[in-house]
Structure formats: structure tokens, C-alpha cells
Amino acid sequence: MKTILRCILFIITIYAAILLYQFQLGAIPFFLLSFYLFYEAFRVIKNGQKEEKLGNGRPS
């Protein structure tokens, strides 16, 4: 489900970029995409830190 939503968001972003480039406003979708990518990277890093904390407390 999350993958489908990410693909839909990507397609909408591409469409918005094409549409806004016609009006010479092409930087706006890339600016918004940078926020999304920052959020995704932050989420991955935060989940990695949680897994490390859980992994260190378990006996081998």
C-alpha cells in the first residue's frame, strides 16, 4: 500500500513539473519534492536507530 501511494505521489509530481514548466515555474515541484525526500530520509534514519537499540538489548 505504501509503495502504491509513493508511486502515485511520484506520478503527480512529474505531472505537476511538466505543467508548471509550461508557465516557467518548474522549480516549485522540485522544491516540494526535496521536502518529501528529506522526510523519507529522516524516517529511514530514525527507524535504523530504533532497530539498533532493539538489537543491542537482545541476547545472542
- The per-residue pLDDT for range 43-54, each reduced to its tens digit, is 899 888 776 666
Alpha carbon 27 to chain centroid, angstroms: 17
The three-state secondary structure class of 26 is: coil
Please give the average per-residue pLDDT across 13-39, as a whole number.
Answer: 87
Percent of the chain with pLDDT over 70: 83
Confidence of residue 9 (pLDDT cuts 50, 70, 90): confident
For the question of whether the overall pTM of this predicted structure is more than 0.85, the answer is no
Whether 58 has a pLDDT exceeding 70, the answer reads: no
Please give the average per-residue pLDDT across 17-28, as a whole number.
Answer: 88
Distance CA 35, CA 26 (A): 16
What is the radius of gyration, based on Cα positions, of the chain? 17
